[in-house]
Chain A
Amino acid sequence: MGETTPLLELANLDVRFDTADGEVHAVRGINLTVAPGETLAVVGESGSGKSQAMMAAMGLLAKNGRATGSVRYRGREILGLPARALDEIRGAKIAMIFQEPMTSLDPLYTIGNQLAEPLMRHKRLGAKAARQRAVELLTLVGIPDPERRLRAYPHELSGGQRQRVMIAMALAAEPDVLIADEPTTALDVTVQAQILELLRSLQQRFHMGIVFITHDLGLARHFADRVAVMRYGQVVEEGPALRVLTRPEHDYTRMLLAAEPTGTKAPPPDDAPIVLEARAIDVTFQIGGGLLAGPPLEIRAVDKVSVTLKQGQTIGIVGESGSGKSTLGRALIRLIHSEGDIRLFGQPIGGLDAAGLRALRRQVQIVFQDPYGSLSPRMTVGEIVSEGLRVHEPQLDARTREQQVIAALEDVTLDPSLRNRYPHEFSGGQRQRIAIARAIVLKPRVLVLDEPTSALDRSVQKGIVELLRRLQREYGLSYLFISHDLSVVRALSDWIMVMRRGQLVEAGPTEEVYGAPAAAYTRELIAAAYGLTDAQEGAASAGN
């Protein structure tokens, strides 16, 4: 690159937070630079301080945060500038896009308003000129029919379109530096590829420096020129993307690279008994309707899908958001109502009422995606794990129950002495283990795993995958593994079902589906996911 002054330079940046538990040192003296036209990927797991470092640079820290050190934009110190002076640079010269396009846009204003407002403020454009510029920007980020879209509200756009609007807003003032904080994490893989392509073309056009914050090494490898790997608030390794991610020097980087789930699962023997069988499952949701609202709108979330799960089998259900994969999982264990025939161990459960179902509930358990939302915040871990025992084995005395809770916690490799703590005192991976302990304490036969690893860091994810494998071996569990993450599904399942818009697109043994996908949609899905991670896959499997 050979630039004399870098666009953005963080030097010896320290970020501390005052919390009830004392001071938290989130960022510990990091040095980073971005040159024009360059993409720097800041990679790290949650808690590594990668986001907070950028928030500090932008002067956007939470109230209890303090930043020291130096942040220079084109040689000018901007750390600690008063808000007014900072506003000349923030938003105008350095723009930021966030992970969550749903909440970053104000739901009460139209896209046009939100785009035009900063233009009128920063560029002193008139209303008409701003509007015209807004149309240009929407065209630039590839939103079809921009004139009409200006009048749309955020909820009328899809996630990918919203992220495009966010990018358009960030570009409105023609910034030199774009800080993208996990811009594609909330998006489906096919959309992710499009957004990254868009960012890359915009970068070439405007010669921007991009700081790309991500936890996904594959994306960093694909998208960035240089990579900085962060851990515990420090940069442990920095260098050209290709070098860092193919010949890592630091153990942590190596560990991250190796954390990609590997291995395969052998199918169960042909004579394994069928535990769960469902024929032609239909789930319809009714939206709106009522006395004055007219007939309700019917949405068919799952459309004639059949599933046969054998003992010891893992069926991976993949699909993008809105494909109905989670709905199917919930319908199969009768958490939501469905049409069609469901049999558990040959016994029809479709028509059972709540009381009749209760006895069968212990055979079929579910683990949810969000380890923060799936544990009741006001109960201790012991109470959470023992709740199922209270329902299904009320005759147990407190001691036996306690022992079973301890056994379940040990099963998921959690220290049982922590059982009197509350969920918020645990990390995401630990919480997911608690959720799994809650499910297995009843010794179920079938486990529905609804994206159990999607909210977790790769290294944590690996532990959970291994745990699930071990539990399956030990207890002969059958899994329904629902995920959008193709690599995890591949490592865990022996049978794959691909869903799209409520319908089954393709089903078959894992290697067949991945190796030679029959449906065009499956090919597209695999290309989007592996197109980005090919090189890294190669490196990872070579390392193994």
Chain B
Amino acid sequence: MTELVLSRPVKGRSLWIDAWRRLTANRAAVVSVVYLLLMGVACLVGPLLTGHHYTTIYTDYVRVPPSLTAYPKPDQISGMLDELIRRMRVDLVAWNDQDDRISLTIRSSRPIDPRVVRYFDRSSSFADPKVETTSPDGLTLTLSTAVAKHYFLFGTDNTGRDLLTRTLIAGRVSLAIGLLAGLTAVVIGVIYGATAGYLGGRIDDIMMRIVDVLYSLPFIFLVIMLVVFFGRNFVLMFIAVGAVQWLDMARIVRGQALSIRRQEYVQAALALGVSPLGILWRHVVPNTLGPVAVYMTLLVPQVILLESFLSYLGLGVQEPLTSWGVLIAQGAKNIPSATWLLIFPSIFLTSTLFALNFLGDGLRDALDPKDR
């Protein structure tokens, strides 16, 4: 190929800026980036806006299907009232619905303690109960109460928790594990791989054999062992996933470093008397970052999937905290009766993975040196 003469701006244009320009020209990648940002914001801020806490249990709304209109539905009110009246051990004489409030008349064979209204307080479906009139004998009571409106856009789960809130909270956990474990893997992998590849020779042999040994440890065994020793917790997930994922990264970076070490700019730096650490830091690592950035975007989905897999096996995060993997596992058990429990978390997980993969593809094209 012959070189083509171009007119250029005065300011330097780094390879990263070049790559960024190519990336922004790739529509799928841009859409993915926007989508991932939206997903991140939604998972961070969303749970504050849904009106539910992810641990709140609505006993009245166990496994209700997703709906755009508020719960309770008109036909549910009578059932919920009946349930409440049964618990209050009184008889319902009549009830009617007027202006968002329900007025009802109850009667009992014994005088009714006005404190029965607390049953309404305890219920998540009613709010602000008032005793309107009490009959002189105290056997009949007229009450009024407001109906609490709840929106369950994604429905609720088996214990009556809002699935939307839980899906977003799960997203926080999954994305955090994906990013943090991915980042840990990248940092360890890059440092380890670059060192091994650059130093080469005997040191490289030893370092890479250690990687091989770690590779041969069965991952699930390792996790089970860690869980047995340290109990189940969130941090353990990072360690377990990070401990496995950096091995791939180390191999990739080592391969890169091996070829970079033979580049003339490294030789020139050697001739300048730059210390090995300086060469590693200024020359080797920056030049491995292209493939590393690509691999990172593919690593994050891998880690999210790994976490899902572990959670599916019951080794992952613990209730009431949840992750997409956990939600999907629960949803899978409820396919016949409550499909939404599977559908919504799955959509979130797969769309995020798709976006990450598209972004990875875009990055690979953008950073491909053949384009230059």
A residues with a Cβ closer than 8 A to B are 17, 19-22, 24, 26, 46-52, 232, 330, 333, 335, 354, 357-359, 361-362, 364-366, 368-370, 373-380, 387-388, 391-392, 417-418, 420-422, 424-425, 427-428, 435, 438, 442
Q: Are B14 and A373 in contact (CB under 8 A)?
A: no
Q: Are B15 and A362 in contact (CB under 8 A)?
A: no
Q: Which positions 258-317 of chain B face chain A at CB distance < 8 Å?
A: 263-265, 267-276, 278, 282-283, 286-287, 289
Q: Which residue of B is nearest A425, CB measured?
A: B8
Is B109 on the interface with A (CB-CB < 8 A)?
no
Nearest chain B CB to A62 CB, angstrom units: 8
Nearest chain A CB to B363 CB, angstrom units: 16
| Bound CA–CA A369/B268 (angstroms) | 11
Indicate whether A376 sits within 8 Å of B282 (C-beta atoms), given known contacts A19-B6, A388-B273. yes
Nearest chain A CB to B257 CB, angstrom units: 14
Residues of A within 8 Å of B276, CB to CB, are 354
Q: Which 5 A-B pairs have the closest CB atoms?
A: A361-B273, A374-B264, A421-B12, A358-B273, A388-B272
Q: Which residue of A is nearest B262, CB measured?
A: A373
Q: Are A378 and B12 in contact (CB under 8 A)?
A: no
| Bound CA–CA A364/B272 (angstroms) | 8
Nearest chain B CB to A389 CB, angstrom units: 9
| Bound CA–CA A19/B18 (angstroms) | 12
Indicate whether A422 sits within 8 Å of B272 (C-beta atoms), given known contacts A20-B18, A378-B287, A391-B278. no
Residues of B within 8 Å of A438, CB to CB, are 268, 272
Task: Pick from A17, A49, A438 the residue with the most CB of B within 10 Å.
Answer: A438
Residues of A within 8 Å of B6, CB to CB, are 19, 21-22, 24
Q: Which positions 1-27 of chain B face chain A at CB distance < 8 Å?
A: 1-8, 10-16, 18, 21-22, 25
Is B372 on the interface with A (CB-CB < 8 A)?
yes
Residues of A within 8 Å of B268, CB to CB, are 366, 368, 374, 435, 438
| Bound CA–CA A261/B234 (angstroms) | 71
Q: Are A333 and B271 in contact (CB under 8 A)?
A: yes
B272: contacting residue among A17, A26, A365, CB under 8 A: A365
Residues of A within 8 Å of B273, CB to CB, are 357-359, 361-362, 388, 391-392
Task: Pick from B3, B7, B278 the residue with the most CB of A within 10 Å.
Answer: B3
Q: Are B3 and A424 in contact (CB under 8 A)?
A: no
Q: Are A378 and B286 in contact (CB under 8 A)?
A: yes
| Bound CA–CA A22/B7 (angstroms) | 10
Q: Are A20 and B271 in contact (CB under 8 A)?
A: no
Q: Which residue of B is nearest A25, CB measured?
A: B4
Nearest chain A CB to B20 CB, angstrom units: 11
| Bound CA–CA A427/B15 (angstroms) | 16
* A-contact 0/1 string along B348-372, CB 8 Å cutoff: 0000000000000000000000001
Residues of B within 8 Å of A22, CB to CB, are 6
Nearest chain A CB to B367 CB, angstrom units: 12
| Bound CA–CA A427/B5 (angstroms) | 8
Indicate whether A421 sits within 8 Å of B267 (C-beta atoms), given known contacts A19-B6, A21-B6. no
Q: Are A376 and B287 in contact (CB under 8 A)?
A: yes
User: What 7 new A-B contacts, CB under 8 Å, besides A49-B2, A358-B273, A380-B14?
Assistant: A20-B25, A24-B6, A370-B264, A374-B263, A380-B12, A391-B274, A438-B268
11 A-B pairs with CB atoms under 8 Å apart are A47-B3, A50-B2, A232-B5, A335-B271, A366-B268, A368-B268, A370-B264, A375-B265, A376-B286, A377-B287, A380-B14
Residues of B within 8 Å of A377, CB to CB, are 15, 287
Residues of A within 8 Å of B25, CB to CB, are 20
Residues of B within 8 Å of A420, CB to CB, are 11-12
